[in-house]
């Protein structure tokens, strides 16, 4: 049980609000020494773990960049530009992005992400398309658009990535199936994922276009009522 002392060190360090990185590194060194590792072995292990997971830091780097872009009007400009396209609707925009996102995931290309792409670009563009078509929308419908923008990223990424033979999901499936005694290769899992990716593009598009019809019926009815009242006055 003494080998779990690193967990206790981390808990105490967080409670005392000490430097996070220093606490974690110190906990790792103490754990390694208690486990009988030499100092060189501990440093080698920490270095290997850092190199293996170094791509995780790319996500952190993107955050201040996105913050600066939003600070200087990225969301407003994207909403303004899409509002100038008269044929653009919430459903058409999200359907187009669903196809692009699914295809990119199928070939291992990372172009999306809720933080990097949906919030600063796709969501304001969808909201701009809705406001351009219907005017001021109700809060409940604005929330629905937010849900659609989040869903399109989930659909495209989740169902498209398993067609790429080197994706983590495919490798996980292959590893688990082989441990259970099934003979399967990555290409077999990718082939099985292809029809699912095609189906989600169709089903997702139908869902998004359904919301176009729903919004049209709702706001066009309100517009007719408003026009009738104006004529009577």
Task: Give 43-68 pLDDT, tens digit per residue.
Answer: 888 777 766 655 555 556 666 666 66
How sure is the predictor about 141, in pLDDT bands with cuts at 50, 70 and 90? very high
Name the residue with tokens 């078509």: 133
- pLDDT reading at 229 higher than 60: no
pLDDT at 68: 64
Exposed / middle / buried, residue 51 (Cβ in 10 Å: 0-12, 13-18, 19+)? exposed
Closest Cα partner for 150 from 103, 106, 204? Answer: 204
DSSP 121: I
Instruction: Read off the pLDDT of each residue in 142-158 and give the average, rounded to a whole number.
Output: 94
pLDDT at 120: 82
Instruction: Read off the pLDDT of each residue in 105-123 and give the average, rounded to a whole number.
Output: 83
Reported as half-sphere exposure (CB side, CA atoms, 13 A), residue 189 has a value of: 25
- pLDDT reading at 148 higher than 90: yes
**Mean pLDDT lowest among 95-104, 174-183, 201-210:** 174-183
How sure is the predictor about 210, in pLDDT bands with cuts at 50, 70 and 90? very high
Q: Given its phi and psi angles, is residue 36 left (phi above 0), alpha (psi -120 to 50 degrees) or beta?
A: left
- pLDDT reading at 75 higher than 70: no
Predicted TM-score of the model (pTM): 0.66
Percent of all residues in the chain with a pLDDT value above 90, rounded to a whole number: 29
């Amino acid at each position: 049980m003494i080998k779990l002392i690193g967990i206790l060190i981390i808990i105490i360090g967080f409670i005392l609000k000490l430097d996070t990185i220093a606490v974690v590194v110190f906990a790792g060194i103490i754990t390694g020494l208690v486990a009988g590792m030499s100092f060189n072995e501990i440093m080698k292990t920490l270095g290997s773990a850092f190199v293996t997971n170094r791509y995780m830091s790319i996500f952190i780097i993107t955050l201040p960049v996105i913050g600066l872009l939003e600070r200087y009007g990225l969301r407003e400009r994207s909403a303004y530009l899409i509002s100038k396209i008269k044929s653009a609707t919430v459903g058409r925009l999200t359907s187009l992005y669903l196809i692009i996102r699914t295809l990119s995931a199928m070939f291992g290309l990372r172009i999306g992400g809720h933080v990097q792409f949906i919030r600063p670009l796709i969501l304001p563009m969808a909201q701009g398309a809705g406001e351009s078509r219907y005017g001021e929308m109700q809060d409940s419908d604005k929330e629905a658009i937010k849900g659609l923008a989040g869903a399109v990223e989930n659909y495209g990424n989740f169902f498209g990535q398993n067609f790429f033979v080197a994706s983590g999901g495919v490798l996980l499936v292959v590893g688990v199936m082989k441990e259970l005694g099934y003979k399967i290769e990555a290409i077999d899992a990718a082939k099985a994922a292809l029809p699912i990716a095609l189906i989600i593009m169709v089903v997702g598009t139908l869902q998004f276009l359904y919301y176009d019809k729903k919004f049209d019926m709702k706001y066009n009815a309100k517009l007719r009522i408003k026009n009738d009242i104006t004529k009577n006055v």
